[in-house]
Amino acid sequence: INEANLSGDSEVQKFYDGSVVFITGGSGFVGKHLIEKLIRTTNVKKIYVLLRAKKGKNIQERLEQILQDPLYSELRKDNPTFVDRIMPILGDVSEINLGLDEKSWAILTDEVNVILHSAATVNFVEKVKLATITNVRGVREMLKLAKACKNIKSVVHISTAYSNATKSRIKQEINEDFYDSPIPPDVLIELSETLDTDTVEDMCKIFMNEWPNSYTLTKAVAEDLVRREKDLPICIVRPSIVIAAYNEPTPGWIERKNVFGPSGVLVGLSLGVIHVILADTAIFIDIVPVDYVNNTVLVAAWKNYLRYQLNEKEKKIYTVTSTRKPFKWGSFREILINEGRQLMSSKAIWYGFALEIKYKTLYSVFVLLLHFIPACIVDGCCLLLGIKPRLFKAYQMIEKLFTIFGYFTMKEWFFEDKKTMNLYNELSKTDKILFNFDVTNIETRENIRSWLYGIKKYVIKDDMTDVEYSMKKQFWFRIANYIFVPAYSFFLFKLVSYAFIFIHNVLSFLFSNSDIIKAK
């Protein structure tokens, strides 16, 4: 990659030479990585990052905090002055005009050539009103800015492959095309601006018969805003589930906040906390590394510009998916058992094992047996020892996580990616190295290992030098598990048996007394 970076043969690099890029969502997982990739592999003149003041920090302080992420460690060693090309700009994607004042608006419209819009609320339980303000109206305001830019070359809107993965399309192919919006964007925006949260929620319940949450619903509606634009050079990139980096800038990089997404499941497994997973082992899991997603975004912006130069106005959608390199949940579990054991955390509290169950009733039974009852026992012991109980609360959060993501671990869709692969095949040899997004060259086991490694290093904050200690700990936990599970099962069996006997005796007593009373 470094050799290709220095070769000067990249057409994509030439597109970004001297350009001014505006990024929304720069404090998020995808946005952070996008900034790093742009600085490391292109000669952009400047990157404006939309930020809002938060938790007592102004935007400059927030940017400095963002750039302290380990993601930028190698970049800082090789190019310590890279920060000079990154400029924070005060704003908020959920506000009118993106919350920009007149001066900031003028600066952006005068200077910006490329807009990469990754900002969104990814809270799957967000109320429709709030999700609309950010995910739909935010796109409208971004488009307004793009149309006001005097030298705009390309705009990329990052959506999701699941925007049209509705209940009626389960096990069907989702094409790289626009689908009809469930409601006109301007109508949903007006409802969200004028009505209270509960009213909007009630009015949108009808859409939840198809869409599982407000995130996918509002992403689908937002795409219709893009479709309506006539002359703006814009395209859409739809990634599936975005996970840790496969290669760049370092294998396994992941943001700590990802613990609230699918990566949270791996955190629970690595810590020996999660022992029951709601999933169908027969369905395909669709995950893509963040570096492959952002390589697609950067190339899509370049190609979008070339197409509009040739007066090709059809808006393209590029889906980044593992459809061409599929693997099932069952295979995922096998990798975790056979190769993930050495990546168990030294902070694990029990032996790492998990049951994958697709039947919700059976899943609930095992969650009670393997999660909540042990949590009550452990937390009870903690209270007696004067230690703050935490396990029961942790399991409540885990259960909420599976409630949210169960829709995606129990169902599957097949995402078309012909346009994405055609885009890749049009690249030069150099650009295929620099901006690789060919998912067929991803080695599945290595991908999962990188993800697990990233979870351990960047989320749990474990040092990889403690592998031997972690393995020994798992060895003793395994022995303890073999002793505890049979004893625990026997205890529960006896408890249930005594409970049934007690209930039977009580009922017999009541019925016998009832007969005596009637006889009298």
pLDDT in tens, 10-57: 999 999 999 999 999 999 999 999 999 999 999 999 999 999 988 889
For position 55, what pLDDT does the model report? 82
Question: How many of the other CB atoms lie within 10 Å of CB of 211?
Answer: 23
**Residue 340: C-alpha distances to residues 93, 289, 332, 471 (Å):** 39, 18, 10, 11
For position 62, what pLDDT does the model report? 94
End-to-end CA distance of the chain: 95
By DSSP bridging, strand 154-158 and strand 355-357 are: unpaired
Domains and CATH numbers, the chain: 2-256+286-324+414-441 (3.40.50.720)
Q: Which residue has the tokens 């625990």?
A: 488
Q: Which residue has the tokens 């996970």?
A: 243
For position 513, what pLDDT does the model report? 64
Task: Catalogue the E-assigned strands of 216-279.
Answer: 234-239, 241-243, 276-278
For position 516, what pLDDT does the model report? 55
Average pLDDT across each block of 10 residues of the chain; the chain has 520 residues. List them in order.
78 95 95 96 96 90 94 91 95 96 97 97 91 97 97 97 95 95 96 96 94 95 95 95 94 88 86 90 92 98 95 93 86 76 85 89 92 91 89 89 85 95 95 95 90 91 80 90 88 82 79 60
For position 42, what pLDDT does the model report? 94
Report the C-alpha gap between 498 and 363 in whole angstroms: 25
For position 517, what pLDDT does the model report? 53
For position 90, what pLDDT does the model report? 96
Q: Is the pTM of this model over 0.85?
A: yes
| Partners of 89 in the β-ladder | 50
For position 184, what pLDDT does the model report? 96
Structure tokens at 76: 């800082």
> Using an 8 Å Cβ cutoff, are 293 and 237 in contact?
yes
Smallest CA-to-CA distance from 10 within 237, 236, 299, 305 is with: 299
For position 78, what pLDDT does the model report? 87
For position 140, what pLDDT does the model report? 97
> Using an 8 Å Cβ cutoff, are 323 and 248 in contact?
no
What are the tens digits of pLDDT across the range 413-428?
999 999 999 999 999 9
